[in-house]
Amino acid sequence: MLRFLLARLGQSAIVLLAMSFATYVLLGLMPGDPIDLMFAADPDITSDDIARLKALHGLDQPLIDRYLAWLRNALAGEFGYSRLLNEPVLEVLAPRLGNSLLLMAVSLAIAVAIAVPAGIHAALRPGSWSDQAINLCCFAGVSIPPFWFALLLILLFAVVLGLLPAGGMGHEGDGVLERLRYMVLPVLTLSAAAVAGYTRHVRSAMIEVMREEYIRTARAKGVAERHVVRRHALRNALIPVVTIAALDVGGLFSGALITETMFGWLGMGKTIYDAVMGNDYNLALVGLLLATLVTLLANILADIAYAWLDPRITYRSRAHG
């Protein structure tokens, strides 16, 4: 297990490194460069100044040297400043990562709380009208454009009914309840797709498990159906579901980007989007890497959870797959 973990950590480090290089190159390919932007802001700058500034910031160096210089600084904990906000990027990103994780965690919890009972309900009555209704809702949930769903929610709850704020995160000094009101619509948006996805997984996993021999054995022994479902079936059915939920953190980040942008929620997704749109290379780069790091760590957690939940699995020799 330890060797497996180390191998996975190593792999993740390689992915992160490759990602940092790819992103560095891609950001260099975005319109304009920082000196041009400074130039645009100050008409008195001369071309000598530009050359001097480019040399000062190392922009006249080859790409690979600039990347390596960036990497050395990054490894030393120096991630530079955000151009838009004039603050060290880590100080910008830390609270926003917290905001994103809060939004994601609440949405995830709600999604699981709905998906598990709904999936079990459907799995125990395959083909019934309630199964088909749940199935159709799941298809709707994964097919609805998330930003459009957000628009409809804003239209209904903020514009027509006036019950909930259309965006923002509340103000300093607001109570917990007031803060919660700002969370309702973003959480609804983000959890909709997750509920749909997880319900389908719970359902198919439960149907699979209910066909197993040990379920028949348990029933033959006279175990009450309620116990068969809860103790015997659900525990085994949840194994793949937990893995899928943990593997889905990347998808959750994608959803969070849309949700945060729609509702003005100051999280990682909105920050990355604003940074890309505002030519804030440093912020975009570190933000994207931080999101990647969290996703990779969640994937490793998924593997650990998988091994922990299913004692049959050992990671001594890992097969490809």
Binding site for another protein (CB under 8 A): 11, 15, 18-19, 23, 26-32, 126-127, 131-132, 135-136, 139-140, 142-148, 151-152, 154-155, 159, 203-204, 207-208, 247, 250-251, 253-255, 257-258, 261-262, 269, 272-273, 276-277, 284, 287-288, 291-292, 295-296, 299, 320
In the bound state with another protein, the residue whose beta carbon lies nearer, of 162 and 175, is 162
Helix (H, G, I), strand (E, B) or coil at 167: coil
Task: Report, in Å, the least distance between residue 154 CB and another protein.
Answer: 7
The answer to whether the beta carbons of residues 196 and 142 sit under 8 Å apart is yes
In the bound state with another protein, the residue whose beta carbon lies nearer, of 16 and 114, is 16
In the bound state with another protein, the residue whose beta carbon lies nearer, of 22 and 180, is 22
Task: Report, in Å, the least distance between residue 121 CB and another protein.
Answer: 14
The C-alpha atoms of residue 309 and residue 243 are separated, in whole angstroms, by 10
Task: Report, in Å, the least distance between residue 137 CB and another protein.
Answer: 11
What are the tokens at 234? 């659900």
Task: Report, in Å, the least distance between residue 263 CB and another protein.
Answer: 11
Q: Is 5 exposed, middle or buried (0-12, 13-18, 19+ CB in 10 A)?
A: middle
81 forms bridges with which residues in the sheet? 88
Helix (H, G, I), strand (E, B) or coil at 110: helix
The C-alpha atoms of residue 213 and residue 235 are separated, in whole angstroms, by 15
The answer to whether the beta carbons of residues 309 and 239 sit under 8 Å apart is yes
Task: Report, in Å, the least distance between residue 221 CB and another protein.
Answer: 26
Task: Report, in Å, the least distance between residue 175 CB and another protein.
Answer: 29
In the bound state with another protein, the residue whose beta carbon lies nearer, of 13 and 113, is 13
The C-alpha atoms of residue 301 and residue 242 are separated, in whole angstroms, by 10
In the bound state with another protein, the residue whose beta carbon lies nearer, of 34 and 311, is 34
In the bound state with another protein, the residue whose beta carbon lies nearer, of 151 and 223, is 151
Considering all CA atoms of the chain, what is the largest pairwise distance in Å, rounded to the nearest integer? 88
